[in-house]
Structure 1
Amino acid sequence: MGTEPRRFDLTMLHAAYDAFRRDTAQLEAAAESDDVLAKTAVENTWALFRFHWHVQDVAEKRALWTVMYAKEPDPEPEQGGGGVGRRLGVVLEAMDLHALRVVPMMDGVDAALEQHDRAMFARYARDLRATVGTLLDFKESAVLPLIPDTLTAFEWGTFDVEFRGELGLRGLGVFLPWLLDGAPEPTRRAVLRLLPPPIRLAYRARWRPRYRRRNRPVGTTG
């Protein structure tokens, strides 16, 4: 993070991926505690993770991956590098395979919570963390670096529009405090710098305090 041209600032993507990692780690850890399936905190963490995962997934597919898939491959790959166009399809297909492995893990967590099956929850929470981590690691190492070389600045900008449209204005009031919950101070500062002053004020004065009261995920420390 921080090495891309400013017009391709990937700060929010990296922060969201870290938030997903945080939630899956908290869910796996919660499986070791007593009466975990009866805890509201677990249900809140799962609901927040599932909602934001869906929003992120839809926005990325519509505004990023679909557009990148449509790019014509380079007829003459760069010497030694393989060419972005030539390897783009292979990388995106590999990403799709990783993403498909996450789906049954999420379905399993849903079923375990619905059935109050602690052993099932522990198993799927562990596997969910592993599959989500693998997918996000692959995106950060193999897919995100291709964005500046594949998309135009305008195409990249449509992702923010798509994401905000999918999230909605009310959703932003939950998304920001969820995103920054427990985030390192450099990440917090980098994200807030991207936002206009009225949004920063709303986050500090209203959204973050409300989030802490209503939707405190497992294991947060404030």
Structure 2
Amino acid sequence: MGCEPRRFDLTMLHAAYDAFRRDTARIEAAADAGGTPRATAVANTWSLFRFHWRIQDNAEKSALWTVMYAKDADAPGRLGIVLDSMAFRGMRVVSQIDALDAAMEHRDRLMFARYARELRTSVDALLDFKESEVLPLISDTLTAFEWGTFDVEFRRELGIRGLGVFLPWLLDDAPDATRRAVLQLLPPPIRLFYRTSWRPRYERRSRLAVPAY
């Protein structure tokens, strides 16, 4: 029994990555359709993407990747190489987020279209790499306590008010199987708040954020 591999539930990570893919796809689609950075729907999607990306990135770096790097420090091997490759891909995403931010701020339609496409490509490449190369290493590298620390750090970054935005954003347009899997991880009061308050509020705001093309 002591040799059985650890298995951690990565449902929330996969759901978050899919939500990021969804947002960059929506932004690119808006750009391809001739949308402008001033469009309310575009600005709303971008704001939510950027906010949750920062929280996710901070929590992963402090509670996952830093800990995994430390375990590889004395005898550098495949783990360090994989994490370095992930970090390189992450740097590309950061630079393109900054560029798209500038395009949004200056209402530059051409730059918005260019960086919307580039950002989606880079985000997809980073998240695909994480899911195929990095996430499988978590159960081999981290203890149950260390994995649990990530959840604590993420909740600290998000805050209780942020949860009311995060959950409906996370499950926006998600497949039924993903929605059920995520909600099953949450206590009944949180599921109730999601269904009766958070999701309706999110949907009302989304309906108001119609494209202003």
Give the TM-score, by structure 1 length: 0.88
* 2: CA distance, partners of 1:23 / 1:218: 14
- Change beyond 3 A, Cα 1:27–1:110: same
Q: Alpha carbons of 1:71 and 1:92: their partners in 2 closer, same or farther (altered >3 Å)?
A: same
Q: Quick one: distance in 1 between partners of 2:160 and 2:10? A: 21
Equivalent-residue separation in structure 2 for 1:113 and 1:68 (angstroms): 36
Deviation string 1:144-203 (CA, Å, 9 cap, x unpaired) is: 000000000010000000000000000000000000000000000000000000000000
SS at match of 2:71: coil
Instruction: Classify 1:181/1:113 alpha carbon distance in 2 versus 1 (closer, same or farther; 3 Å).
Output: same
User: Superposition RMSD on alpha carbons, in Å?
Assistant: 1.9
Unaligned runs of 5+ in 2: none
Say if 1:218 and 1:13 are closer, same or farther in 2 by CA, change over 3 A.
farther
**Residue 65 (structure 2) aligns with:** 65
Opposite residue 121 of structure 1, the aligned amino acid is F
Quote the Cα distance in structure 2 between the aligned partners of 1:142 and 1:111. Answer: 32
In 1, Cα distance between the equivalents of 2:88 and 2:45? 26
2:189 is the counterpart of 1:175: no
1:216–1:162 Cα change, 3 Å: farther
Residue aligning to 1:187: 178
1:96 aligns with 2:96: no
Structure 2 equivalent of residue 213 of structure 1: 204
Q: What are structure 1's unaligned runs of at least 5 residues?
A: 76-84
Match of 1:131 in 2: 122
Determine the C-alpha separation between the residues in 2 that align with 1:114 and 1:66. 33
Tell which has more relative contact order, 1 or 2 (C-alpha 8 A, sep 6+): 2
Q: Residue in 2 aligned with 1:22?
A: 22
3-state DSSP of counterpart to 1:60: helix
Q: 1:212 offset after TM fit, Å?
A: 1.0
Report the TM-score when normalising by structure 2: 0.92
- Kept in 1, the 8 Å contact 2:6–2:139? The answer is no
Q: In the aligned structure 1, how far is the partner of 2:113 from the partner of 2:169?
A: 23
